[in-house]
Structure 1
Amino acid sequence: MKEKLVVIVGPTAVGKTALSIEVAKKFNGEIISGDSMQIYRGLDIGTAKVTEAEKDGIPHYMLDILEPHQSFSVADFQKQVQQNIEEIHQKHKLPIIAGGTGLYIQSVLYDYQFAVNERSTEYHEQIESEIEREGIDYVYQRLKRVDPLQAEKIHPNNQRRLIRALEVFDRTGMTMTEYQQKQLEQSRYDFRIVGLQMDRPLLYERINKRVDQMIESGLIEEVNRLYQEGLENTQAMRGIGYKEILPYIKGEQSLEEVIDTLKRNSRRFAKRQYTWFKNKMPVDWYSITGETKNQVFQNILTDLEGFYKEK
């Protein structure tokens, strides 16, 4: 019997943290962060990391597990979170993943095989040499023969995607289309994905307010501390909320300019998150407003009760 797993997704600032706490309280659950930035110690304000008060006694995983200079891949996330899920199940509790990093969450649900997903430098160099000798159209025609569906999606001059599609076929014996479909069909978990959504004007207003609150809470000081520690070029500092503030720290832009940029990038990020979850995962969507939040949360808890009790 597959293990139960609840996943809460949606764009930034929509209310995922608050809902995850309610679900954990209702179903004796523990929460795993599905955010690629909250793994770093010291990146608290810019990542909107859950506070001790907000946790309300609920155990949380995948928070503060790395120093900012350390790298962390999707494969690392997959392995660690699957271990967390097992650990929570052994305590006879319900694991709940809450976050907005779609690819990371998808890798856990569908048990992606990263040995294939990791690109082979040797293979790429081999195909690049073939392109130099024979021309890119020659290689593109081979993709059309082995995987016509992917060939339709890839522009003949997009060398990177062209090589990647051929690499999957040559290393697995499956077309990219077949390989992606197989991975999506297989999951070790019995999961339910709950998605929160808002009308765009309301969500954007919440995002703008959240950025203002981050500034008031000390985001500038947080980024400056990381910059002074020599962490400007790390993976951690490339995240939204950090890279936008650096030009102010370095005296290149005004505070007003970087705040406007952060708000704009956060809004764009929310739009990309929403599109990604809509297109990539089987999500049960719930629309909320400030006035309807409590009622919608109750509806979600009621709906999850049936899922939780299924055997």
Structure 2
Amino acid sequence: MASQLVLLPGAPVLVPELSGAAWTDVSTLVDAGVGMLQDAVATADRRILVVAQGPQTTELAYSAHDLRRWGAPSVAVGSSRSERELNDPSGIPGAVLMAWWWIARAGLDVDVKTMTVSATANELTGSVPSVLRTIHAHDGVVMLMADGPAALAPKAPIPLDESAVELDRKLTAFVQGEDELPLLQQDAATSIGWYSQPMWTLLSDFVAGEPPISASHAAPFGVGYHTARWAISSERVDPLLHTSGSNGVPHDEELSRPIVIVGPTGTGKSDLALNLAEELGGQIVNLDAMQLYKGMNIGTAKVPQYERRGIPHHMLDVLDVNETASVADYQRDARDIVERIRASGQTPIVVGGSMMYYQSLIDEWNFPETDPSVRARYESRLEEIGVQALHAELAAKDPEAAKTILDTDPRRTVRALEVIELTGKPFAASRPTIGKPRWDAHIFALDMETSELDSRLEQRTRRMFEQGFIDEVRHLVPKGLRDGVTAKRAIGYLQVLELLDEFGDSEPTASAVEDALDQTFIGTRRYVRRQRSWFRRDARIRWLDANADATGSLVDQALRTVRKRS
């Protein structure tokens, strides 16, 4: 979860190009806020989640903009990594533009996610669990944008109001951990220009009663500006998240049995997982090997942050694209996460379609040791004859192993040959005997008619390319995509890399893009056939019909099994 929280104001007058001669009145506050943000990023993971008020609750892409809205088109904010020209900022809430300005002012080159929240203070309080889950699941710095009242002086934006002065005094005490957060009726808050009350309400759930690491306050123009930085911990948030499911159903020992959702790609596993997590108050654990990688979003159909409904997601974005994914590492980390979710009283919901990762998680699987000299010999053989010829050698030695490993997967082909040589047994002999699943987990799989699934996969693949898949791959190349062993072989990414290689610095032709799309679809369809065949062999799985005319009953079908006492 997030380990640092920074409160910053969102007034354009804090920008030197906009404040003019008044800059001297705010420069000290700005310097303090910049220092807090820099210190927070240095302490936590280099990821920032911006939380700001907006017209709707959604996630905004971090892209290139400027402050032309306020007459400063020369002040650039937002991402400078990929956009060739600045975008029109008219649809971006002012608090978001100011948050991005703070990041630029601090000189930070970090991963940024932005969530806007639309709510009155009372509405936000009523939906705290879902809002908190999104923040709780973020691993890094939370940057919360909020201003104080705007009626603190005769020349303030709103005429002087003594109740505003008293409110700002109480906000200062609240920030210092010395007093509770004062709350006003919405009309009263609006009358003194305290438009950020919902964001302060959200802040209170994280830091009420906690002294900050550092804080600063100023009201140079009759508006209260507060900056502060806190270290936050799960002890504060967990009680709010773990009391019950979203439907108010208390947790018990039965509900802490994990739910595992597997099956072919494109059948709707993620939607079912989200629905069950909402119903049962659960947390989601990824079981897709390629979704472990940062930045591999469109091509892996990773659920965007704004569609996660505030539900914590684990084992996503944990590897850089030049790192090698390991089943053994996944097994260790995912088992630990599942145990922690169970200990909290919530239901772990594990979802994905990676076959070996699935088996490593729910069965006892002790991985054979590796021998560098044996592995080096097979890797040399791989360089000499290529992956498909090496895979043919594996098929000759162990046909069953070859059936479970793609002939485009060099790493697993080499590993299987290494294990066979080291153990003197078929590769499958090193794998676990299927028995009762770990934790007595409920296991579901989704499937549908082949013709319907093929149609969905074709539409999904085309949508990927329309949503910018080629640009996603292009942006991952400088991050080391070509240098990795695993990520670059992912279906779709391999085809687009080949497309980019063919055209170099030129834009690919429409026909070449269409060919890459077709090859991606074919590769996906082929992988789906393997998934279906592999999972069908596991008698522990309860299969659910995901055809279009049956999807409405998926949640009910699963819940009947989950809630049935054994």
TM-score, L = length of structure 2: 0.45
Cα offset for 1:279?
2.0
Q: Which amino acid aligns with 1:185?
A: G
Distance 1:179 1:73, change over 3 A: closer
Q: Which moved more, 1:68-77 or 1:287-296?
A: 287-296
Distance 1:228 1:120, change over 3 A: closer
Cα offset for 1:27?
1.7
Q: Which amino acid aligns with 1:56?
A: R
**Distance of 2:321 and 2:375 partners within structure 1:** 31
Cα offset for 1:261?
0.3
Q: Which moved more, 1:65-74 or 1:230-239?
A: 230-239
Q: Which moved more, 1:1-10 or 1:249-258?
A: 1-10
**Distance of 1:5 and 1:71 partners within structure 2:** 27
**Distance of 1:248 and 1:53 partners within structure 2:** 31
Stretches (4+) displaced over 6 A: 123-126, 150-155, 160-163, 175-178
Q: Does 1:298 align with 2:556?
A: yes
Cα offset for 1:164?
4.3
Match of residue 36, structure 1, among 289, 293, 311: 289
User: What residue in structure 2 maps to residue 168 of structure 1?
Assistant: 423
Q: Deviations over 1:60-117 (max 9, x none)?
A: 1001112111222000000000010011012101111100001101101113111x2x
User: What residue in structure 1 maps to residue 501 of structure 2?
Assistant: 250
User: What residue in structure 2 maps to residue 68 of structure 1?
Assistant: 321
Distance 1:78 1:4, change over 3 A: same
Q: Number of aligned residue pairs: give it.
A: 275
Q: Which amino acid aligns with 1:232?
A: R
SS in 1 for 2:258: strand
Cα offset for 1:22?
1.2
Match of residue 267, structure 2, among 6, 10, 14: 14
Q: Which amino acid aligns with 1:193?
A: I
Cα offset for 1:232?
1.5
User: What residue in structure 1 maps to residue 149 of structure 2?
Assistant: none
Equivalent residues in 2 for 1:154-303 (5 A)?
164-165=419-420, 167-168=422-423, 180=431, 183-185=433-435, 187-234=437-484, 235-251=486-502, 254-280=512-538, 282-303=540-561
Q: Which amino acid aligns with 1:261?
A: Q
Cα offset for 1:153?
7.1
**Distance of 2:400 and 2:468 partners within structure 1:** 45
Cα offset for 1:239?
0.7
Q: Unaligned 5+ residue runs, structure 2?
A: 1-252, 378-396, 403-414
Q: Unaligned 5+ residue runs, structure 1?
A: 127-149
Distance 1:233 1:304, change over 3 A: same
SS in 1 for 2:488: helix
**Distance of 1:194 and 1:256 partners within structure 2:** 35
Equivalent residues in 2 for 1:70-149 (5 A)?
70-114=323-367, 116=368, 118-121=369-372
SS in 1 for 2:494: coil
Match of residue 298, structure 2, among 30, 42, 45: 45
Is 2:544–2:557's contact at 8 Å kept on the other side of the alignment?
Answer: no
Is 1:154–1:162's contact at 8 Å kept on the other side of the alignment?
Answer: no
Cα offset for 1:299?
1.9
**Distance of 2:271 and 2:563 partners within structure 1:** 18
**Distance of 2:482 and 2:427 partners within structure 1:** 36
Cα offset for 1:247?
2.1
Cα offset for 1:36?
0.3
Q: Deviations over 1:288-309 (max 9, x none)?
A: 2112211233222222221xx5
Q: Which amino acid aligns with 1:48?
A: A
**Distance of 2:480 and 2:418 partners within structure 1:** 36
SS in 2 for 1:83: helix
**Distance of 2:532 and 2:524 partners within structure 1:** 12
Is 1:111–1:186's contact at 8 Å kept on the other side of the alignment?
Answer: no
Q: Which amino acid aligns with 2:363?
A: Y
**Distance of 1:110 and 1:237 partners within structure 2:** 28
What is the CA RMSD across the aligned residues, in angstroms?
Answer: 3.1
Distance 1:274 1:152, change over 3 A: closer
Q: Deviations over 1:250-283 (max 9, x none)?
A: 2357111101101110111111111111124621
**Distance of 2:537 and 2:289 partners within structure 1:** 20
Q: Which amino acid aligns with 2:494?
A: K
User: What residue in structure 2 maps to residue 27 of structure 1?
Assistant: 280
Higher helix share: 1
SS in 1 for 2:284: strand
Relative contact order (C-alpha < 8 Å, sep 6+): which is higher? 1
Q: Deviations over 1:168-218 (max 9, x none)?
A: 368xxxx977764x6423654111110000110100100010011111111
TM-score, L = length of structure 1: 0.78
Distance 1:301 1:187, change over 3 A: closer
Is 2:259–2:348's contact at 8 Å kept on the other side of the alignment?
Answer: yes
Distance 1:169 1:208, change over 3 A: same
SS in 1 for 2:434: helix
Q: Which amino acid aligns with 1:168?
A: T
**Distance of 2:427 and 2:482 partners within structure 1:** 36
Cα offset for 1:151?
9.0
Q: Which amino acid aligns with 1:245?
A: V
Distance 1:230 1:76, change over 3 A: closer
**Distance of 2:308 and 2:563 partners within structure 1:** 22
Is 2:277–2:284's contact at 8 Å kept on the other side of the alignment?
Answer: yes
Q: Which amino acid aligns with 2:277?
A: A
**Distance of 1:47 and 1:30 partners within structure 2:** 20
Distance 1:206 1:90, change over 3 A: same
Match of residue 308, structure 2, among 55, 59, 73: 55
Larger Rg: 2
Is 2:495–2:520's contact at 8 Å kept on the other side of the alignment?
Answer: yes
**Distance of 1:224 and 1:291 partners within structure 2:** 39
Q: Which amino acid aligns with 1:251?
A: E
